[in-house]
Amino acid sequence: MWKVVKINLLIFVILILFIEAFLASLNFIFDGVPLYRQLNLSEDQIISYKQKNYKKKNIKLLDDFYLDYFNGHNKKTFLDEYLKKNQITLESIRWMKGSDVNFPIFFDKNKCRENDNDNYTYSDTILIGDSSLFGYSIASPFDIAGRLRELNPNKIFLNLGMPGTGPLAQVNHLKKLTNNTDFENLVWFFVEANDYSDFGSNASCGYSHKEPQSLYRKYENVNDNYLGLKIYIAEHLRGLASFIKLFISYDDKFNLDKKHYENTVKDLTNFLEQKNVKNKYLYFLPYYNRHAYKNNFFIHPNVKKLNILKKDVEEIVTKYGFKFIDGNDAVKHIKNKKKLYHYEYQTHYNAKGYTLTAEHLSKNLGLN
């Protein structure tokens, strides 16, 4: 009897080791997007858990330099320094919550983020786009506009980034706010995550969060005794999920609405010609999915479809005289590109991703 038990136990152990080796090999070959959503795990749950785990294990982050920027500060001391640096009053302050740090911002006269009002008279370069340009969850000067200004102190940048917007709303917003603005260059950000289908026509600046109690982000306690296990499973099964996705159709995913997009590009081109703007650029920002899949052995169908989207965008904008800049080139030297996102979660870039993007853009604009 005991011999049978030992044999069954041995078989069970071998089976577990085989499954573990199989899943590990799929993760190595494909990598991919963790199954957080399928296990009903929220962004706050994942980031709060990983934040504690990283600190406990002393795991280094690519954006540790950003967290070091706030060392020695509390909410009051950082706010005082921010007010002095930007020569603004307390009444101008709004707040944003980040993954690790909450931070103040100020609005210009049109409620756009951290522009001088004089920038609406003249700017060297105007930037339009969505939350990635806005600098969601990242304090200046580590957002795109902030880093551009730091790299080029003698140049004037007007940031008209608006979270939750698509191409048409961004163009309409530009036309509305800059009819009397002189500018030399326009940079239009296209985010492959969602700009291919969002053609809502109206939007405005003014995005902010409720004022926090402290400088450092405090997450609510999550009463889930199995949270760590769920996160482990979600990440451990990502390679298997990537393998299964080899056999699904991507025909209905990441499809550019070419007619609406070309009409929007044409409309913007006409406006810029009337304004005698010298240079216009389309900066194509990559999406987490592109960076999650390994492409060492072959290109995953998800990435292939994103490449088709990128090609479609490039063909349309270059037809109307835009210079196309591939933002993936900014981060191609980073081995594990998921580290460019907050705790490798499927969201916006962290400070490292944004600063690399700004430095890459600055070079392509011929500014440095």
Q: What are phi and psi of 100, to 5 degrees?
A: -115, -40
Residue 271 pLDDT level (bands cut at 50, 70, 90): very high
3 pLDDT more than 80: no
pLDDT, the chain, mean: 93
As a whole number of angstroms, the distance between CA 271 and CA 167 comes to 14
In sequence order, which residues have a C-beta less than 8 Å from that of residue 21 and are 6 or more positions away? Answer: none
One-character DSSP codes across 241-269: HHHHGGGS--TTSS---HHHHHHHHHHHH
**Contacts for 71 with CB less than 8 Å, ≥ 6 apart:** none
Q: How many CB atoms lie within 10 A of CB 357?
A: 26
Question: How does DSSP assign 302-357, residue by residue?
Answer: HHHHHHHHHHHHHHHHHHTTPEEEEGGGGGTT-SSGGGGBGGG-SSSB-HHHHHHH
CA distances from residue 154 to 135, 150, 241, 367 in whole angstroms, order as listed: 22, 9, 49, 10
In the predicted model, what is the mean pLDDT of residues 134-151?
Answer: 96
The dihedral through the CA atoms of 45, 46, 48, 50 has a sign that is: positive
Give the SS3 label for residue 196. coil
Q: How far apart are CA 146 and CA 150, in angstroms?
A: 6
pLDDT in tens, 246-256: 999 998 999 99
DSSP letter assigned to residue 118:
G
pTM of the predicted model as reported, rounded to 2 decimal places? 0.94
Quick check: 269 and 176 in contact, CB under 8 A?
Answer: no
Q: What span, in angstroms and rounded, lies between the C-alpha atoms of 192 and 313?
A: 10
Beta carbons within 10 angstroms of residue 204's beta carbon: 14
Q: For residue 140, is pLDDT > 90? A: yes
Q: What is the dihedral of CA 283, 289, 291, 293, to 10 degrees?
A: -150
Helix, coil or strand: residue 192: coil
CB burial of 174-197 (b: ≥16 within 10 Å; e: otherwise) equals bbebbeeeebbbbbbbbbbbebbe
Show the tokens assigned to 321.
């005289």
Note the pLDDT of residue 7.
Answer: 80
Query: Regarding the domain delimited by 58-230+250-364, which CATH topology (the fold level of the hierarchy) does it fall under?
Result: Rossmann fold (3.40.50)
191-247 pLDDT, tens per residue? 999 999 877 778 889 999 999 999 999 887 666 778 999 999 999 999 999 999 999
Give the chain's count of helices (H) and strands (E). 13, 7
Say whether 190 sits in a helix, a strand or coil. Answer: strand
